[in-house]
Amino acid sequence: MKRKLIASLLALALFISPLFVTGCSKRDNSIAPDFTIRVVGGGGEEWYDKIITLSKLRGRPVVIHFTASWCNICKHIFHTLKSYDNKNVFVMGIGVLDRKKNIIDYVMAQRFPVPVGYDEGGIITGEYHVNTLPLTVFIDKEGRITEKVMGMVSDETLEEAIKKIL
């Protein structure tokens, strides 16, 4: 009985592990739900406590990376994404499925180079159907979701997704 359980768990792990290594991409093309969020950290002092409203960013491509303090693989993409911030792409993070204090501490400890807000009440989480972390959403200049990537984002996937929104 134990061998069957171990074999089943191993098979499941082997099946799921590529998702976390390369990410799972989904094309959407729907209008991104609008939201307003307060920045809790990241991006430097000039961003602290500022308000970000997605609809006010129309005309500019946007990348949103959903994260949580307990998600070990979530933090790796923030510094890579920062390099695209200089290419007229607005990059931000949203802390979800966690306590606000944990998100603030996490963002400060990791020194994220992009602004990170906290999804108070989980409304944004629901509207964007965040059911796994990390989740990275790419939004074009017209406000359409061109891609959602679940799991770690490879450099190739990131480059392709950014090109689509520029």
What does the alpha-carbon distance between residue 107 and residue 59 come to, in Å, rounded to a whole number?
Answer: 28
Q: Which pLDDT score, from 0 to 100, does residue 88 have? A: 85
User: Which among 62, 79, 81 has a CA at the least distance from the CA of 146?
Assistant: 62
Q: Read off the DSSP letter of residue 59.
A: T
Q: Give the pLDDT band (50/70/90) at residue 78.
A: confident
Residue 51, SS3 per DSSP: strand
Does residue 53 carry a pLDDT above 50?
yes
Q: Tell me the average pLDDT across 78-84.
A: 79
What does the alpha-carbon distance between residue 82 and residue 8 come to, in Å, rounded to a whole number?
Answer: 40
Does residue 60 carry a pLDDT above 80?
yes
**pTM as predicted:** 0.82
pLDDT tens for each residue of 109-140: 999 999 999 999 999 999 999 999 999 999 99
- Alpha helices, H only, 31-142: 76-85, 100-110, 123-127
Q: Beta 145-150 vs 24-26: how paired, if at all?
A: antiparallel
Which domains can be identified in the chain, with CATH numbers?
Answer: 23-165 (3.40.30.10)
Q: Give the pLDDT band (50/70/90) at residue 6.
A: very low
Q: Tell me the average pLDDT across 89-118.
A: 96
Q: Which pLDDT score, from 0 to 100, does residue 76 have? A: 84
Q: Give the pLDDT band (50/70/90) at residue 39.
A: very high
